[in-house]
Amino acid sequence: MSSIEVQKIIKPINSSDGAGVKLKRSIGVEPNYFDPFLMLDEFGSENSEDYIAGFPPHPHRGIETVTYMLAGDFEHRDSTGGEGKMSAGDVQWMKTGSGIIHSEMPAMKEGKLHGFQLWINMPAKLKMSKPEYIYIDADKMKIHKDKDKQIKVIAGKFEKAEGPVKGHNVEPIYFDVELNKGKKFDFKIPSTHNSFIYLINGEIEIGEKKHAKIKDSTLVLLSRGDNLKVTAKISAKLLVISGKPINEEIARGGPFVMNTKSEILQAVQDYHSGNFVK
């Protein structure tokens, strides 16, 4: 077995999106693309002015968006007629396919909002497929718990806890890991996958080799291997995310990610001509 090691440690940049929601962006800046992952945002604040304007209606094509709420409430509406409220612990996994217009707006006027949005690329053969959703309610999420750690499984499998996202082309792994001080998280990841850790809080060490300090709101790109070992220097909360690369050329145009520039131009034309939503 080969040990998975730290490839790069990246501090997210402060940014904003939607109608001015303040967030920390990592993937989507550096690196711009970590196949199959296109973007990772952490949004969160106890100041309502940082999030109250939300994400008004906007289009997507050719990607999947995975929204994971840790605190607060968001209301979702879209062009298919779908709507619902996301609360702490809930996940919405949206495959935008050929096109969808949706909004995500805070269902709260004050209090703490905290969550993540991950963008996953779709292969060319699926980019124009029918949009679909997977909703994962917090109380239905499978959890592994022992004296050392707690692992919420959004995708993939840890021990007997398995996530509801199955048969996916990138064979995703998405864990929310809470690790007690001095304890270890050991997990085998396919050597074909690109993997990263996003440390939410605490301090951790990864692998067998020495590396710079990893503490609070930090993205860690990992080397290929098959054995991941994480040790908590102090109690830590982190996301462990992994997926099989798609290995296709991409073209990006804001909320659209396709394979060629002409497909991006077509998406823009479809949107402005009213032919975007099938």
Chain length of the chain: 278
Is there a contact between 263 and 251 (Cβ–Cβ < 8 Å)? yes
**Rounded distance, CA 214 to CA 201, Å?**
10
> Domains of the chain by range and CATH?
6-273 (2.60.120.10)
- Residue 8: closest CA among 198, 269, 173: 198
pLDDT tens-digit series, residues 134-193: 889 999 899 999 999 999 999 999 999 999 898 999 999 999 999 999 999 999 999 999
**Rounded distance, CA 207 to CA 194, Å?**
16
pLDDT value of position 19: 61
| Torsions phi, psi for 241 (to 5 deg) | -130, 135
Calculate ∠ Cα 245-58-198, nearest 5°: 40
The pTM score is 0.95
